[in-house]
A and B are shown apart, each in its own frame.
Chain A
Amino acid sequence: MSHGVPSAAPDTAAVDGATARRRGWGWLLLVPGMLYLGVFFVFPTVQLFLTSLYDPSGNYFTGYTLTWHFANYLDAIRDTWHLFVRSFIYAGITTGVCLLLGYPLAYAIAFKAGRWKNFMLVLVIAPFFTSFLLRTISWHTILADNGPVTDFLRTVHVLPHDGRLLATSVAVIAGLIYNFMPFMTLPLFASLDKVDHRLIEAAGDLYSSPFTGFRKVTLPLSLPGVVSGTLLTFIPACGDYINAEILGTPKQYMVGNRIQAAFLTEHNYPLAATLSLILMVIVVLMVIVYVRRVGTEELL
């Protein structure tokens, strides 16, 4: 937001000089981080790109040769486009439900929890104390065919007599929602917690009902949290494979499952690399469109 603020100082030349000098130092501070990213991000990404262009006729035992085989991409899209579509649908539903569940939760913690605020925050973070894998396996138990949830849903006839939860899309999405909920809730909380209470009072003073006040003041001011929360949920959910693996069947597999199988089981490195890069490019494009649309720059 540093741009756009018109400078009122008459001696702007002196100010600019000082700012320029400070910026010079700022660049130096970037060096360690840039070096780290250069080694551990740029280099592997280039490597990944080269791997995706290996000749697919090679294999784990004979090795692969780099033949700039761009057809890998067309083949991958042709064979696995349905996995991409499923991944984005699952991740989209997950993000939507997380937002619907996480927003009221974050709102309650920020505005209504009082002295329980910190305790409730700890509860939100608490799942991180155990491993992602273990937590997903326990969802396997929760949703099991003879488990309490399935039993209950059968009793109230939401599920047919022999209906199941496990090994369905519902189970996979439920697992995703559970696992990514904190990533939605925390940025939402951080945004809502910053909203000045007096602004909400002012909205009430200016003829806004509580709901209108929320719509016109609280919600717009919490949009940065909505943007970061949805990104932090959607991006990793797109690439997830644990939930589909443990709570689903191959019918629920996502792109991540295919990449994992290609890489670890089949040792088909060109395919794994190709799928990874396609996923990355699509997600980056979606994020750019999304952020442009919401226009976070305009938000404080």
Chain B
Amino acid sequence: MAETSQDLHLESLTKRFGDFTAVRDLTLTVPSGSFFALLGPSGCGKTTTLRMVAGLEDPTQGRILIGEQDITRLRPYKRPVNTVFQSYALFPHLTIFENVAFGLRRRGIKDYKQKTHDMIDLVQLGPYAGRKPAQLSGGQQQRVALGRALINEPGVLLLDEPLGALDLKLRRQMQIELKRIQTEIEVTFVHVTHDQEEAMTMADTIAVMNQGVIEQMGAPDDLYENPVTTFVANFLGQSNLIMTDIIDGSGAEVVVDCQGQKIGVTSERCHAQGRKAWLGIRPEKIFASQVGESEHTDSNVLRGGRISDVSFIGVSTQYLVAMPWEQELMVFEQNTGRRPLFKNGDNVDLSWSSEHAFLLDADQDAHAGMMTPEDRE
């Protein structure tokens, strides 16, 4: 089964629960050996998608294939897929060794003992092999769950919010660990998470999901630098979105009227359809400067700003800048010490390089994908 490509294909996958459509006509390909993240807020359908691949949920429509093999109707225990569950779901009555050996023994593999010891060593739990899961810490249980799935050498490893239960420091550590293991064994990882930082740290490709559909898919830096919807612009990091009118969309640079000031945006970064558009710019891409001293050309300068809030964070300073049209824009500035910090009430010009702004469809909610601190946990 190693001859053909083991890419995971989802074709028009749909899942309805009664009237509610959890996943809507989802089509995507996860290349074999890649680290793929499904990122989205809770209820966006990412976990349902994962459970359909695992066989724990039957799709209403559509097909799931690994390589050439259609696994859509295969029972979970017949699929070349293993899962690291959110709650770990370790068997409490079995030792760590027995937990890790579980899959091999069910498949009747004779030399499971050596393989199990090797796997327990790989996840660095050697001294704990004889213990029960309840005697281990959260991070250790997480490793057991990983080892228990990986030992089966699955075509695809599914990870359902695998680090959600760990504290921040441990989570960072495990992110690096997971990435190391994935690179080492070259198994396809499909990772479901609501944590954008986690997704960006580990994944080669991220699919941002919202309300059952994929909003955008791509490499982490592509998604971040060139979002195509307001949801992605807000869900991955933060964005300033300003309502503009498109004046000229014919040239290599789309010219917009941004509340009375002309701004140019590279045409390949224009994702707007109608006459109006959201002008998007990331806070860390904006330079604040004293009036008349901006470093950029006229087409990328917004004048008339006034500092309304200063938060000194250490590595950076976050400014809120009140604009003449009564919108506050966020500006993050690294504390290079090149010049003194601005103070509340200072008048500033804002500017950026033309390749950093983007234009989004004006029909969309400017607050889509924004999360309260509670949502981010």
Contacts and interface: CB of A to CB of B under 8 A. Distances in A.
Interface of A: 5-6, 196, 198-199, 201-209, 212-213, 216-217, 220-221, 299-300
A6 B127 CA distance: 13
Interface stretch (B8-16, B80-88, B339-347, B364-372): B80-88
Nearest to B79: A205
20 contacts: A196-B89, A198-B87, A198-B89, A199-B89, A199-B92, A201-B85, A202-B90, A202-B91, A203-B91, A204-B75, A205-B55, A205-B85, A207-B103, A207-B107, A209-B75, A216-B91, A216-B102, A217-B91, A221-B93, A300-B93
B5 interface: no
Interface string B91-114: 111000000001100110000000
Contact of B77 (A208, A220, A300): A208
B77 A204 contact: yes
Nearest to B108: A207
A221 B89 CA distance: 13
A206 B56 contact: no
A203 B89 CA distance: 9
A220 B93 contact: yes
Nearest to A8: B137
B49 to A, nearest CB: 16
B94 to A, nearest CB: 8
B76 interface: yes
A206 B102 contact: yes
B148 interface: yes
Given A5-B134, A204-B55, A205-B81, 10 more contacts: A198-B89, A199-B91, A205-B149, A206-B77, A206-B106, A206-B152, A207-B103, A207-B106, A217-B91, A221-B92
Nearest to A1: B134
Nearest to A299: B93
A204 B89 contact: no
A198 B135 CA distance: 20
B350 interface: no
B206 interface: no
Contact of B82 (A196, A199, A205, A208): A205
Contact of A204 (B56, B91, B107, B148): B56
A6 B135 CA distance: 8
A213 B152 CA distance: 17
Given A201-B85, A202-B85, A204-B56, A209 B93 contact: no
B99 to A, nearest CB: 9
A202 B89 contact: yes
B148 A206 contact: yes
B54 interface: yes
B83 A207 contact: no
Size class of the B contact interface (CB-based, 8 Å): 20 to 34
Contacts of A221: 92-93
Contacts of B82: 205-206
Interface string B197-227: 0000000000000000000000000000000
Nearest to B109: A207
A205 B78 CA distance: 8
A201 B90 CA distance: 11
Contacts of B106: 206-208, 212, 216
Interface in B100-152: 102-103, 106-107, 134-135, 148-149, 152
B76 A205 contact: yes
A208 B107 CA distance: 8
Nearest to A213: B77
Contact of A198 (B75, B85, B107): B85
Nearest to B106: A207
Interface string B44-61: 000000000011100000
Contacts of B55: 204-205
A217 B148 CA distance: 15
Nearest to B92: A300
Contacts of A212: 106
A258 B358 CA distance: 94
A234 to B, nearest CB: 24
B83 A202 contact: yes
A38 to B, nearest CB: 37
A29 B210 CA distance: 55
A6 B136 CA distance: 10
Specify which of A199, A205, A209, A300 lies most central, judged by the most chain B CB atoms within 10 Å of its CB: A205
Contacts of B87: 196, 198
Contacts of B76: 201, 204-205
Contacts of A209: 75, 77
Given A198-B87, A212-B106, A205 B77 contact: yes
Given A198-B85, A201-B56, A201-B85, A206 B103 contact: yes
A200 to B, nearest CB: 9
Nearest to A204: B76
A5 B137 CA distance: 12
A199 B83 CA distance: 12
Contacts of B75: 204, 209
B205 to A, nearest CB: 24
A205 B83 CA distance: 7
Nearest to A300: B92
Specify which of A207, A209, A213 lies most central, judged by the most chain B CB atoms within 10 Å of its CB: A207
Contacts of A299: 93
Interface string B327-358: 00000000000000000000000000000000
3 pairs of A and B residues whose beta carbons are closest in the complex: A202-B89, A206-B103, A207-B106
Contacts of B134: 5
